[in-house]
Amino acid sequence: TFSVSNAWKAAADAVATLTIDDASIPITDGSSSLGTIATGGSGNNNADPFIFTVPVGYAGRIDSFYITITSNGGANVDLLALEHNVGTPLVLIVDDDNGDSLQQYYSDPLQALRMPSDRWDKAVSGSPDSILLNRYEAVFWFTGDNRTNPLAGADVTAMQGYMDGGGKLFLTGQNIAKQLSTLNPTFLADYLKAQYVSSTMIPVVVPEAGGPILSGFPYVIITGYGGANNQSAPDHFTVLTGGTPEGYYMTTAHEAALSYDGTYKLVFFGFGFEAIISGDPELAERDSVFNRIMDFFDISGLSGYPSVPTVAVGPGAQMNLVEHAPEISWQYHDEGSAPQQSYRVQVGTDNEWSVAELWDLGPVSGTDTAVAYAGGTLVDGQTYYVRVQVYNGTQWSSWKLAQFRMNSQPSVPGGLAPDGMAGEGSATPVIQCSAASDPEGDSLTYNFQVYSDSLMSVLVAETSGWPAVSGSAAWTVSPALSDDQEYFWRAQANDGFESGSWSPGASFWVNSSNQLPAAFDLVLPVDDTILVNPLPTFVWRSSADGDLHDAVRYRLVWADNEAFTNADSSALLTDTTYTMPESLSLGKVYYWKVTASDLFGGVTPASTVNQLRLWLYGDTNSNGEVNIGDAVFVITYIFRGGPAPDPIVVGDTNGDCKVNVGDAVFLVTYIFRSGPPPVQGCQ
């Protein structure tokens, strides 16, 4: 029986017709009258059920049932597709994940093989006993996330009884061997054929030749996207006599998996099977490993039903896709060698398939096993789900599910240096940028390009693949760049799958052959000048630099000795004049010079070193002292036509802007009567 709800217009005189994809199941009554189903109403066939017969000895399988509902005089036809277990299940899944939801990793591949199964939830029902286990041809027992004591004593007793009866056991999980090494080492050695070594997380299992399960596969990865990603303490063990090594942990001699084929059959993984990642064509596929286990247990697929062993999305790494219209490809398999005749492809944002949110293709007739994605926009950084179903002309396969993720571009590098048309003193300068970030945490390398024009159209140097060290990536430009030339450059991060956007441009110029500032002369005060003003202004001619964007700066240096011992100096100056900020000492001789320097350390001194002397007020005869001789010198100048003070202003000792006998009297008063000292005169 079945029931349906009507969310659309009223369905008058609805009739349901049943078909089954397995022709060996005869339908006795495949038609049911549902009457009229109103809008928002529902209907069922409880009063007129379908009747079909399951033949004696029918091998248990998952069959597809199709209910066609015709209403409104044939104007409306709807098809409902159902899948249901028919016959006795051969496989028991012992769900021992402590209440988690990992069972799908075991039920889904069975569904793909159209193999019915029962599930025993240990968190709800407690430990199963061997009587229950022995009802099934195979038992798949998983323990899920890391726990100190995943198994109970009753679990060991049940498994031992099952294996004593010739059962086929797949036992998988962390810390099982570790716990059994103390709880029941005899069971570990005699039944599981293992001796515990350690529990350490190593994510790569290397398949070994000769085993029926993993031999011939590439690496088995038990962490990351595409699996349960729940491993932290997988068991390492040694395989004992009778067991067959299947795979070891990379960089160790410790086994990760074994099989045994004797009075019972055993596959024992020291890690959780659910953690094997899928979706990378370069690695072992979880469902392919599962199918090997089914083959080992002699309960693999059913004849007449096609299957899809693998689905791949590319090109490139399936969990880091760059192409936004990727190719979806699959393998087709049919036990009876019937060719593929049709296919369906669906892509969605989750693993709930009431609706395929992005793309629902088909059924499409044909033998193609690849198709270009043409659905909704795929967004960087998002994980998507794809499933494929194939048809061999008689039966549809179960859906085969896979995941893929669009890669996110790394961020744009910043902190570019040099920049701002900075000068570089080498033809092979070091350019660097600060480290970028990546949304997925991928390791980044960096690309650099150098151009000779601001439009970045003339490329002169480039490189790629440089790592970041201590928060920045750097490259010594090669080949050598031209002297006195501007350059423009940029940086870009790459996450191993694609490159991000280029940074904004930065700039510099090259001064690999530095020219010194040009020669220049001192102007004022002229050499051997006697100055009255103790705050003189110094003047010199400008220098020049022949390099492209170089600049000249000046420094004035002065001292009271020719060796310039204990000299004073100005800051670097861009002007060619400098006024002394503090008074020089009166009556002293000073020496001064100027140097011109460029931005790259080139220095050119002025052509001369000049000397000057500051006048001592009242020293009218210029002998460096103030005494009665200076008063006599003024009187001689005034009354006897003697030489004038030079400059004349020094004769104005009292500051009245005249040179007369009053200045001589002023000096006599200062010398003999402790009067006020001479002052700077005026003209």
Q: Looking at the structure, do residues 70 and 146 belong to the same domain, yes or no? A: no
Q: Looking at the structure, do residues 74 and 97 belong to the same domain, yes or no? A: no
Q: Looking at the structure, do residues 604 and 633 belong to the same domain, yes or no? A: no
Q: Looking at the structure, do residues 433 and 387 belong to the same domain, yes or no? A: no
Q: Residue 202: inside a domain, yes or no?
A: yes
Contacts of 526 (CB under 8 A, 6+ apart): 610
Which residues form the domain of 362?
Answer: 306-405
Q: What is the CATH number of the domain that holds 20?
A: 2.60.40
Q: Looking at the structure, do residues 129 and 222 belong to the same domain, yes or no? A: yes
d(CA 403, CA 108): 14
Q: Looking at the structure, do residues 314 and 292 belong to the same domain, yes or no? A: no
d(CA 223, CA 207): 16
**Is residue 296 within a helix (H) or strand (E), and if so which, with residue range?**
helix 286-296
Give the pLDDT score at 300: 66
Q: Looking at the structure, do residues 326 and 395 belong to the same domain, yes or no? A: yes
Q: Residue 515: inside a domain, yes or no?
A: no
Q: Looking at the structure, do residues 176 and 139 belong to the same domain, yes or no? A: yes
Q: Which of 36, 60, 86 is the last residue of a domain?
A: 86
Q: Looking at the structure, do residues 106 and 238 belong to the same domain, yes or no? A: yes
- Lowest-confidence pick of 170-179, 195-204, 228-237, 531-540: 531-540
d(CA 420, CA 336): 72
Q: Looking at the structure, do residues 213 and 143 belong to the same domain, yes or no? A: yes
Q: Looking at the structure, do residues 364 and 461 belong to the same domain, yes or no? A: no
Angle between helices 104-112 and 286-296 (to 10 degrees): 70
Task: Dump pLDDT digits (tens) for 322-345.
Answer: 999 999 999 998 878 899 999 999
Count of domains for the chain: 6
Phi-psi region of 381 (alpha: psi -120 to 50; beta: other; left: phi over 0): left
Task: Dump pLDDT digits (tens) for 603-614.
Answer: 999 999 999 988
Distance of CA 445 to the CA centre of its chain: 10
Task: Dump pLDDT digits (tens) for 57-68.
Answer: 676 777 778 899
| First vs last C-alpha separation in the chain | 129
d(CA 347, CA 328): 10
Q: Looking at the structure, do residues 396 and 440 belong to the same domain, yes or no? A: no
Give the pLDDT score at 301: 58
The reported pTM is 0.60
Q: Which of 266, 296, 326 is the last residue of a domain?
A: 296
Nearest residue to 51 (alpha-carbon basis) of 87, 86, 27: 27
d(CA 508, CA 458): 15
Tokens representing 234 are: 């997988």
Task: Dump pLDDT digits (tens) for 69-89.
Answer: 999 988 888 888 787 888 788
- Lowest-confidence pick of 136-150, 197-211, 644-658: 644-658
